[in-house]
Amino acid sequence: MINIGGPDDWSRWFAVEQVERGTWLVGEPGHVNCFLVEGTERAVLVDTGLGMADIAAAVSALTDRPVLAVNTHSHSDHRGGNWRFTEVAAHPLAAGTLTQPVDGDYLAGYLDVARAQLAAYERAREADDRFFHLFTDASRPRPLPEAADQWAVPAGPAPRPLADGERIGLGGRDLTVLHTPGHSPDSICLLDERAGLLFAGDTLITGDFWAHTPDTEIEVFAATLRELADQLAGQLSAIHPAHTLRYRAGPAFLTAAADAFEAIVAGTSAGRPGTDLLLRPALRHEFAEFTVLRPPAAR
């Protein structure tokens, strides 16, 4: 098995920051935000990221509890480190994908985008250091590992199926599984009811919502977000999404997302032609805090 990172490569690649009591961001800035949630008996790692460096090593530096890796869905940027864990769990619909390796051509294409992103960041950093001072240690994209061209994501272990409403006990702390289809049929969120924390995966995104890919169902997505907003009204203190440099959002973000998706379904939001980060055509529905991407209009 190829391990593209050296023994300390994880510390150069991951941004680790305590974001709540017993909760850490284990982030790949500009790529994926994973979260370690610890109880007195065990811990859950919400998503395992790209698999470009050893996330298990990063996690073991934070907790000595047994770790269950939970995938919020089966997309490749959320399961890259699964093979480094013995215990994995996900929605039943994710199992077929998680037990297969990730296509090497896809990974090579992602590396091209990652290199372009890093170059853009270096330009932005100069302006930020002079004028804005917005980047923090947890939001500064890292250089790619030296052996990134050897990056491979092998098949992971068969995941334990998670049911909607199931509680994952961590010892003095529970995470409730919420099936939230829309972005993908196998999407879930994890809710820490006591602390009011929602670990949202790609169900909520503070930048571009990806609602233009083949496995997205926009009507289902809109219904999911409205149901979630109604169910969790008054219960949340923070939302932790899986992408962009903004890894924490306030409770009002959920209602704003539900309103936006309903406007798109109703036809009252007009998207403008544009692209996604891979430069593929997409209609961009722009709202105050985020954008929703939809497939380009048929000609």
Please, how many CA atoms are within 13 Å of residue 227, restricted to the half-sphere of its CB?
A: 13
Place 164 in a pLDDT band, splitting at 50, 70 and 90: very high
Share of the chain above pLDDT 70, in %: 97
What pLDDT is stored for residue 4 in this prediction? 41
Per-residue pLDDT, averaged over 235-249, amounts to 95
The conformation of residue 249, written as its DSSP 8-state character, comes to B
Q: Quick one: tokens of 48?
A: 């395992």
Domain ranges in the chain are 12-100+152-294
Give burial (CB, 10 Å; 0-12/13-18/19+) of 263: middle
User: What would you report as the CA-atom Rg of the chain, rounded to the nearest whole angstrom?
Assistant: 18
Q: What is the mean pLDDT of residues 225-238?
A: 97
- Mean model confidence pLDDT for the chain: 94
| DSSP one-letter string for 10-73 | HHHH-EEEEEETTEEEEEETTTEEEEEEE-SS-EEEE----SSS-HHHHHHTT--S-EEEE-SS
On whether the CB atoms of residues 285 and 271 are closer than 8 A, the answer is: yes
Q: Is the pLDDT of residue 109 over 50?
A: yes
Q: What is the dihedral of CA 67, 72, 78, 81, to 10 degrees?
A: 20
Q: Report the pLDDT averaged over residues 98-116.
A: 95
Mean pLDDT, range 38-43, rounded to an integer: 98
The pLDDT of residue 11 is 83
Statement: the pTM of the whole predicted model exceeds 0.85? yes
pLDDT at 1: 28
Check pLDDT > 60 for residue 7. no
pLDDT of res. 2: 33
Phi then psi for residue 185, to 5 deg, are -65, -25
Q: What is the pLDDT of residue 6?
A: 46
Lowest mean per-residue pLDDT among 6-15, 76-85, 198-207: 6-15
Confidence category of residue 8, pLDDT binned at 50, 70, 90: low
Statement: residue 299 has pLDDT above 70: no
Highest CATH level, class, for 12-100+152-294: alpha beta
Mean pLDDT across the stretch 48-66? 96
Query: Which H or E element spans position 177?
Result: strand 174-179
> Is 50 exceeded by the pLDDT of residue 281?
yes
Dihedrals φ, ψ of 201, to 5°?
55, -135
Task: Give the tokens for residue 212.
Answer: 């233009």
> Poorest-confidence range of 123-127, 157-161, 226-230, 253-257?
123-127
